[in-house]
Structure 1
């Protein structure tokens, strides 16, 4: 065996940046060299209330001292509280708690098939639902499937925002139509309001369910608790994770009352799902979610989009600025890797969503001066890059 560096003992599944994490607070991250970065990615849309939020941190610390695991053979008041609050916020009736978005989506797929007795799930091109076997199969991106042998059967992929394609794909064997309101990994793409309502109607006509994946859009990211609320939808199943615990590992499947009996004793489970530490984080997060704050997310998101559009509308490298709330994509005509590198050098962290889209997911409570400064830096670099690119 040849001598290895420490990094080589970790599977190289991530294209890691040349940054070693030291600490984080609010909307900033500090590396081991003492450099401080403005975080416009929120841990890939997880720390919606910022890093080390004092009340969320205090809640988890308090539970840590009382115990962090006893198994789901026990009742947990904190789990009941989280389920009740999520039911009230979503308009649904029951929750199953898991550890991640992928697990939540696996649970949603199982629930839809078990409850309907049908097998096919219709999903969309450029969707992303996770990397476990079932959630990977639900994902409409061939690159995510590549190299893993036969993909799990029972999934049909159609173009996003194309109701004609949905009508052609849904039939009497369709258990559910599964969609994101905003395709995050797929390029921060939104559908039309008519599309979402039509999806519900088509599903209803064929006795199929509607699963809305809110793993990235949920818990206030778009200016509503859940993004489906923008369009008056009433999905049968909703999945959540990421920001649900402000970065603490947790996921949830939320479902309507008619589906509760399908998940009876022994049908599904999770050793760590719904553990007291996760539930303390969830309840603290939901306590922070207020109508006033959601209104601010919408206002600030619209302001950032307006600022970007006004500054970049003549930029030959920028094709479009789009988004919903504090989930914003800047589609460019070429790869954005160099832009991200330049921003990191200037102390601003952003994500991509595919090769040509910059994705902004700042903490919902990022201070205005910090957000303005980071947005100005982004505009400056895009303008300078356009001149070089031309």
Structure 2
């Protein structure tokens, strides 16, 4: 087989997997790897979980697709569960995180239109990443993902992440046009940058005061990744709009946009839609994922093992001259290096059987399944430490 027929949008390692179970993957030669990437925060409950396998198998034999022209029982069950967990009112389902964010941006536009604002502005953060569609790319930053795609649609104003005075300056300059703030509670693609303590609460207060929508992109941070169902719950706030994907389907494509209050009432029949979104298979799998997280107490495990992993990495790499910072929350951890290490992901996989991810060139991003145990924490620490030293 050859990859010559594929468009060159990725630079994959010369490594292909044929089997996964729990936290492990096996390549075609039968070699075992500890997966500390989880498909980029997707397989939160592990590979080939028996309950997921059973749900997919049974549902595939019953019904895959009818379209949203008809009521879908599993879609209604999932919407009920997610809105309960998040403190929201309504849900819209589609196929990916980018689509979920496009849905949120459409809500912001409608919200502005209802208020009579002809040219609404959405405040977004520098170094953000919200997707690769033209709309979500407009709200994102990074020369590699934006190169060649100007002029991008949408009206956005960018402020530094975590900088409240900058936001207040923008409010003074553009307050009459601003309709929403869109933000990741933890910026994942830019290097696992956490919002300063109290920042999300301050945004919630300003959005309430100015009648803006607070829209949280929890695509990477949601579904237990940080030790709570959603990262915003660490600060005890509820947004007006929340987007989800990745870990919600554990590998089955699904995205969700949750909304409450006025934001939940903006769409009317025909104003938005999705052919495949919310189909019986995807929604049943997502319901099963939520059940597993509750039954196996994976929120608590993510908190416990995340604290352990963060502490052990700081201890192990304390004297490494190339390590600039180690930060994270739950099982979302970044190790920022002073200088990029060429082929670091290959070194970790080839020499230590450990799958890691490097983002923005010099930040190791660790996103292991929420099921990892103490022994696997030590395996990650040992593998990262050796790979960084050897690189």
TM-score, length-normalised on structure 2? 0.94
Map of 1:388 onto structure 2: none
Map of 2:124 onto structure 1: 123
Q: Please, which runs of 5 or more residues in structure 1 have no aligned partner?
A: 386-390
Q: Secondary structure at the match of 1:193?
A: coil
Q: Secondary structure at the match of 2:88?
A: coil
Q: Is the 8 A contact 1:336 1:357 kept in 2?
A: no
Map of 1:157 onto structure 2: 158
1:56 aligns with 2:52: yes
Q: Secondary structure at the match of 1:274?
A: coil
- What does 1:182-261 align with in structure 2 at a 5 Å threshold? 182-261=186-265
2 CA distance for matches of 1:383 and 1:350?
15
1:280 aligns with 2:284: yes
1:369 to 375, 379, 386: 375
Q: Secondary structure at the match of 1:376?
A: helix
Q: Please, which runs of 5 or more residues in structure 2 have no aligned partner?
A: none
Map of 2:92 onto structure 1: 96
Q: Is the 8 A contact 1:59 1:280 kept in 2?
A: yes
Q: Secondary structure at the match of 2:243?
A: strand
CA-atom RMSD in angstroms: 1.4
Q: Secondary structure at the match of 1:290?
A: helix
2 CA distance for matches of 1:370 and 1:325?
15
1:338 to 332, 337, 343: 343
Count of matched residue positions in the alignment of Structure 1 and Structure 2 = 381
Superposed CA deviations along residues 162-185 of structure 1, whole A, max 9, x for unmatched, are 111111223121121000011000
Moved more, 212-221 or 363-372: 363-372
Moved more, 93-102 or 293-302: 293-302
Moved more, 58-67 or 214-223: 58-67
2 CA distance for matches of 1:294 and 1:149?
41
2 CA distance for matches of 1:337 and 1:67?
47
2:40 to 25, 41, 44: 44
TM-score, length-normalised on structure 1? 0.95
Map of 1:84 onto structure 2: 80
Q: Is the 8 A contact 2:325 2:335 kept in 1?
A: yes
